[in-house]
Structure 1
Amino acid sequence: MTRVVIVDDQTLIRQGIRGLLEVAEIDVVGEADDGRTALAVVAQTSPDVILLDLRMPRFDGIWTLEQLRAGDIDIPVLVLTTFDDDELVLGALRAGARGYLLKDVTLNQLTRAIRALADGGTLIAPSITDRMLRAIRSGPSPLGPEAASVQSLTEREQEVLRLVARGYSNREIAEVFFLAEGTVKNHVSMILTKLGARDRTNAVLRALHEGILD
């Protein structure tokens, strides 16, 4: 069973999400009302996925993402928020979020996203994607000026990257191409290196900005 920690400053929201996830057989192993508490709860419970709100008093979602990254805590974070402005979305993805959903999603969409992240995938709300594509293509690199120059990807690496962008996990990609999962992991690692990206989500953003992905 997938294990989740919910981070949201509103008690009623946390309780509601917990109840829904338990119906869907996802185990909520902890809750926190701000980033600092979240770090302690995550350390105690080691969840498979962190559900994180962004706008919280004191220690907000971006702060939490930065602290997780600084501490080399490689637990996938799914942002679940009511805010979808471009700057906030890109800020969360730059800080290490692997998924971004709005709170108007259905239970099925939420559980699918949680399981996708737990299995190594990524997922961004479709309602945000089109607008983000326009912003990414018209602006500077989403990874900042320090990003390495993009090296050419092989045909297979481009195929793998397309499935990564669609939220496929390494296991699912391996099944599509009839490859060993370890081979897919090697492809993903090479993609990250060539794109100068630190994780799968940033690799997708970088590829979109450079026109590698449609």
Structure 2
Amino acid sequence: MNIIFIKRPSLLREGIVELLQRKLHNKKVYACDVTDLKAYERICGMVMIDITIDSPDLNLVHYFKQLGKKVIIWVSDEKNQQLAHVFKLGLDGYFYQGMEEKELLDAIYTIESGRKYIHPILSASLLEEYVRVNDKQPKQPMGILSNREWEVLQLLSEGYNNLDIAANLYLSDKTVKNYISSILKKLNVPDRTNAVLKAVKEEWLYIS
């Protein structure tokens, strides 16, 4: 799956493209501004879009979503006011400018496999804003998680670590780890942060 990185020319942009092209041997990686976009859009299945180049209407995001591309937002400021809005669009990825090389490559492989990726630095801002504007009662569906798994996920959303969860629910640390592994598998997410974000987005959890 070829990749296009839509960002204004900079040393950072060229460095990212060079890195990806060097590491992703079976893909072509291109960089462009909005002015030369047409030359690449048909040959790329994954699109990384700098949020600053697509503000405020996010026309590029909507355009590539309609084309069925895998769409990733590239964010340099975790306090960007559009984060809550783009999160609700359910894009394939939310990348942060400070990502390490391994993080970036793992995120691309995650998205290519059909899962979504949200960088942990963005997660806190996204979750805080999303909860603020979507303060609703939970609607936990039947058959996704067990009652105990819902309890563990709720405590995760409140910032509890494994030992705190174990003490709160009178479980062993090993049992808590097993519950968390089961939750991640059932929700098809890579980590606990994304598990909480998915549950909040689907209105399965209420965070006070």
TM-score between both structures, scaled by the size of structure 2: 0.64
Contact 1:5 1:42 in 2 (8 A): yes
1:101 is paired with a residue whose SS is strand
Structure 2, unaligned runs of 5 or more: 151-182, 192-196
Question: Over alpha carbons, which structure has the higher Rg?
Answer: 2
Do structure 1's residue 67 and structure 2's residue 63 form an aligned pair?
yes
Q: Distance in 2 between matches of 1:210 and 1:156?
A: 11
> Per-residue CA shift, 1:99-151, capped at 9, x if unaligned?
11211111110011111111111111111223332332332269xxxxxx957
Which letter maps to 2:92?
A: R
Distance 1:151 1:87, change over 3 A: same
- Which residue in the other structure is 1:171 paired with? none
Question: Where in structure 2 are the equivalents of 1:119-134 lying within 5 Å?
Answer: 119-134=113-128
1:132 is paired with a residue whose SS is helix
* Identity among equivalent pairs (%): 14
- Which residue in the other structure is 1:166 paired with? 190
- C-alpha displacement of 1:65: 0.7
Do structure 1's residue 105 and structure 2's residue 99 form an aligned pair?
yes
- C-alpha displacement of 1:83: 1.9
- Which residue in the other structure is 2:19 paired with? 20
Contact 2:5 2:32 in 1 (8 A): yes
> Per-residue CA shift, 1:141-190, capped at 9, x if unaligned?
69xxxxxx9572413598478543437xxxxxxxxxxxxxxxxxxxxxxx
Contact 1:39 1:68 in 2 (8 A): no
TM-score between both structures, scaled by the size of structure 1: 0.62
Structure 1, unaligned runs of 5 or more: 143-148, 168-201
Contact 1:137 1:210 in 2 (8 A): no
Contact 2:95 2:118 in 1 (8 A): yes
Distance 1:138 1:56, change over 3 A: closer
Q: Distance in 1 between matches of 2:127 and 2:189?
A: 12
